[in-house]
Chain A
Amino acid sequence: MADTLADVEPMIYESQISVPYSWWAGDTASRFFRSLRDEKKIMGTKCAKCSRVYIPPRKVCPSCFSENPEWTEVSDQGVLQSFTIARRQLASLPEKVPVILGLIKLDGADTGLLHYLDEVDQKQLRIGMRVKAKFADNRSGGIRDIEYFRPAK
């Protein structure tokens, strides 16, 4: 059918999908965000069966399919599990490239947290390096209350 376009300009219907949507964070994420905002504490939930500590916290353990009833504070320091340096200004990125994205396993947690890395020499980035959270000065109760992670001194 494409040959019909040889002498015809293709018609395009320009539009966008824009629907306001409010996600209730739920009581688990609400508690996590309150602790970040008010106390600069990173709180995880612990599975009653396997004792895995989840960051970000979940109400149930996906491994055991049972509840995570206990809250536990984890460290603001941990290990870089993997990373990438975004160099093209992809539409999803709210910050100007280059942006370093990482998966960080905090001490005391068993799962990794997706976040930014900064104040780091790109050449020094490596899996296994120790990093520490830098909290935002103005915190509003969201994942970006941690501003980014930087090499631990």
Chain B
Amino acid sequence: MDQAAIIGVGMTKIEANKAGDTFADMVWEAVNKALDDAGMTINDVDNVVTTSNDFWDGRTISCMAVGDASGARHKNASCVEGDGTFGAFYGLTRALSGDYGTTLVTAHSKGSESISSLITNAAFDPIYERAIGMDMITACAMQATAYLDRTGTTPDQLAMVSVKNHGNAKQNPLAQLPMDLTVDDVLKSEMLSDPLHKLDCSPVSDGCCAIIIANQARASKYSGRPVWIKGVSFCSDSYFLGDRDLARAPSLAQAAQSAFAMAGIKDPATEIDVAELYDAFTYQELMWLEAMGLCEDGKAGSRLESGDFHRNGRLPVNPSGGLLSGHPVIAAGLIRIAEIVKQLRGEAGGYQIPDARRGVAQGVNGLCGQSHCVWVLDRDNQEKEIG
């Protein structure tokens, strides 16, 4: 099979409330940034995949409404409902199909315009579960309880994730919440739902991300520097929380194993230079690290304490500040991919990881990490083929 690369990325600043931008304004900004970054015009885009969610957008068939700002008029346009990494997966398969040389992928949401607790409550089964009134925060708090109980990870260690990521965000001009925090600040912040304090949770955010994927024939045709896609996989767990072991993430383990194998990586813990993971809550960064084989099971908290995941550590995790520093739902996973592209090109400015060659990005869809999408990207195009 052919190779493919990401040749352009564009992101808006992530903000609590982009009162000056409609959702289409955000998409317009991110798409044009991605085109400029790739050295392309909209005429060089062969097809478009938009990623959106009707509830978050407050309109039905939201994918059709976002087409104009994505330059999709009179082009083959399709859509994915879910995290942007899944839209990008679809975009990649289109670029690899041979029918399209380039795919523009967009993902956006404006959390500021709705009430996230009501929207995430609507993700629960309406017949058996919704009337109980759980939402993303309370469901993930329940998962955090199970993870802490199984692994012995402590609330202090969770707080350290928040301290690290908000601190990293100080170097990222696009981050919403750069902050100087102490573990004590996190532990003293409002307890939303045990064991998650306010500063254990990502904020409500507005933002958009766009990336351009090209097949091998087109990847070097424009001025944008390609970053090569070496392994991609996604995997889903059961829908009902009670059908799963909430303290583990077997679908992520499977997605990661398969993406790393595709990339020819045998020991991800030593072969990956930088990771951007889906830290919607502090415990998730640790839990995902373990499930992905980037750290021994149950040890992520203590490895974090010894500095392994800091910007100057063994495996820097979320040097951009992660979701904890800005979480536009839907766009959040695509932003992880774009951040890894910046790292591998050496364009991450104040949060650049020196000589980053290989990186991994992760996106999540569904409650408590039901479904995961893992991307392994490489600065160089080695001979090994995808698939």
Which residues of A are interface residues toward B (Cβ below 8 A)?
1-5, 10, 12, 15, 17, 23, 25-26, 29, 54-56, 58, 62-63, 81-88, 90-95, 99, 101-103, 105, 111-116, 127, 142-144
Name A84's contact: one of B142, B238, B242 (CB within 8 Å). Answer: B142
Interface residue count on the B side (C-beta < 8 Å): 47
Name B117's contact: one of A92, A103, A111 (CB within 8 Å). Answer: A92
Name B192's contact: one of A17, A87, A95 (CB within 8 Å). Answer: A87
Q: Does B347 contact A (CB under 8 A)?
A: no
The residue of chain B having its C-beta at the shortest distance from the C-beta of A16 within the complex is B58
Which residues of B are interface residues toward A (Cβ below 8 A)?
15, 18-21, 25, 29, 58, 115, 117-118, 120-121, 124, 126-129, 131-135, 137-138, 141-146, 149, 190-196, 238-243, 246-247
Instruction: Give Cα distance in the complex from A43 to B290, angstroms.
Output: 37
User: Is the beta-carbon distance between B19 and A114 smaller than 8 angstroms?
Assistant: no
User: Is the beta-carbon distance between A1 and B131 smaller than 8 angstroms?
Assistant: no
Q: How far is the CB of B112 from chain A (nearest CB, A)?
A: 10
Q: A5-B19, A81-B146, A103-B241 are in contact. List 14 more A-B contacts (CB 8 A).
A: A2-B19, A2-B20, A5-B20, A10-B19, A15-B58, A26-B127, A82-B246, A83-B145, A84-B141, A86-B138, A90-B192, A112-B242, A114-B129, A127-B149
User: Is the beta-carbon distance between B115 and A82 smaller than 8 angstroms?
Assistant: no
Q: Which residues of B contact A85 (CB under 8 A)?
A: 193-194
Choose among A58, A84, A143 the residue with the greatest number of B CB atoms under 10 Å from its CB: A84
Q: Which residues of A contact B192 (CB under 8 A)?
A: 86-88, 90
| Given A2-B19, A84-B141, A114-B241: A92 touches B134 (CB 8 Å cut-off) | yes
Name B142's contact: one of A92, A103, A111, A144 (CB within 8 Å). Answer: A103
